[in-house]
Amino acid sequence: DPVLDLACRMPKAELHVHIEGTLEPDLAFALARRNGIALPYADEAALRAAYDFDSLQSFLDLYYACADVLRTADDFRDLMLAYLERAAADNVVHAEIFFDPQTHTARGIAYRTVLDGLEEGLRIGRQRWGISGLLILCFLRHLSEEEAFATLAEAEPWLDRIHGFGLDSSEQGHPPSKFARVFARCRELGKPVVAHAGEEGPPAYVVEALDLLGSARIDHGVRSVEDPALVARLAREAIPLTVCPLSNLRLCVFGTMAEHTLPQLLAAGVRVTVNSDDPAYFGGYLNDNIRAVQAAFAFDAATWQRIARNSFEASFVDAAQKAAWI
Ligand code: HPA
Ligand code: ZN
């Protein structure tokens, strides 16, 4: 398929990837050995066999358990390098990468250790593969507002080292409104904010993310199609959605790729991007997502060009850099 080849070869930005979700089983076991700790799985095959999710929560339970092997700055650097190498191979030239400090600080790993390691990885990755990256600090929404404020306080001495803030983890029962005051403070600090919404949660959560958090993009947002007025607003206000097709399939947001709402959103004029979310857990990196979408929908070249262009337009880099890519 020449269109698929073109889509895979096109330079792209990836705007929705969790660094903890790029932890492949081989690296997880290597880090477990290096740190002298045991994973609750006998080997890589047993771990892979556990990648059989029926919901967001079933994935999150495993994702947080595996993150326990990440202990030192070198571990976070190696994790970042492994992701950037794979992203660069998919012609990703720029990535905006989520990290979940609370997953690590709760285990006694210092915020500084996480940040130092991830940044070293970004620096080496830029030299090696010419790929640029920005870090987005995500608050875990299943935890309290108070814990989010405590995390923000820990991050404040090194604010120049992160680009923005996000909101992830268990969506149902944890509406964006829970973090309205935290996000107001993040915006006061001059940072762009984004939020996961409309993945498992209802379209009303997307509206809250926009109106109460000031979210500059919506991560997932695929359930927005249930509210036509919202879809019209997303299109009118050019609000980007960072859609993750394989993630949605593996977490049973949709039963089959053919049921995915990506084509409806595109047709409505919404600024949709395609991303990998947690590629180690969901069956692939950015071009694997593109292959799965193309197998289901056979988009034309112009559609893939539109999606690649959207990824740059929706990124947080400055206008001159965007112009250079577009
Ligand atoms: N949704 C919510 N939280 C997450 C995800 C996701 O897709 N990936 C990692 N944390
Ligand atoms: Zn995500």
pLDDT of residue 110: 98
For the Cβ of 309 lying below 6 angstroms from any atom of ligand 1, the answer is: no
CATH architecture of the domain with residue range 2-313 = Alpha-Beta Barrel (3.20)
pLDDT of residue 123: 98
Residues 6+ apart with CB under 8 A from 322: 312, 313, 315
pLDDT of residue 199: 98
pLDDT digits (tens, 9 = 90+) for 22-38: 999 999 999 999 999 99
Q: Is the pTM of this model over 0.90?
A: yes
pLDDT of residue 57: 96
**Nearest ligand, measured from the Cα of 97:** 2
pLDDT of residue 46: 96
Residue 261 in tokens: 């709402």
pLDDT digits (tens, 9 = 90+) for 225-256: 999 999 999 999 999 999 999 999 999 999 99
CA distance 202 to 209: 11
pLDDT of residue 112: 97
**Nearest ligand, measured from the Cα of 170:** 1
Task: Provide the residue ranges of all domains of the chain, joining segments of one domain with +.
Answer: 2-313
CA distance 85 to 215: 29
CA distance 225 to 243: 13
Inter-axis angle of helices 111-129 and 73-89, nearest 10: 30
Q: Which atom of ligand 1 is nearest to the CA of 220?
A: 7
Residues 6+ apart with CB under 8 A from 36: none
pLDDT of residue 228: 98
CA distance 203 to 198: 5
Alpha carbon of 192 to ligand 2 centroid (Å)? 17
Residues 6+ apart with CB under 8 A from 198: 205, 206, 218, 220, 221, 222, 223, 224
pLDDT digits (tens, 9 = 90+) for 144-193: 999 999 999 999 999 999 999 999 999 999 999 999 999 999 999 999 99
pLDDT of residue 70: 98
Residue 222: strand, helix, or coil: helix
Q: Which atom of ligand 1 is nearest to the CA of 20?
A: 9
121-149 average pLDDT score? 98
Mutate to test the pocket of ligand 1, among 22, 56, 243 (most ligand atoms within 8 A of CB): 56
Contact predicate 231/255, CB 8 Å = no
Q: Where is the binding site for substrate, in residues?
A: 278
Contact predicate 276/311, CB 8 Å = no
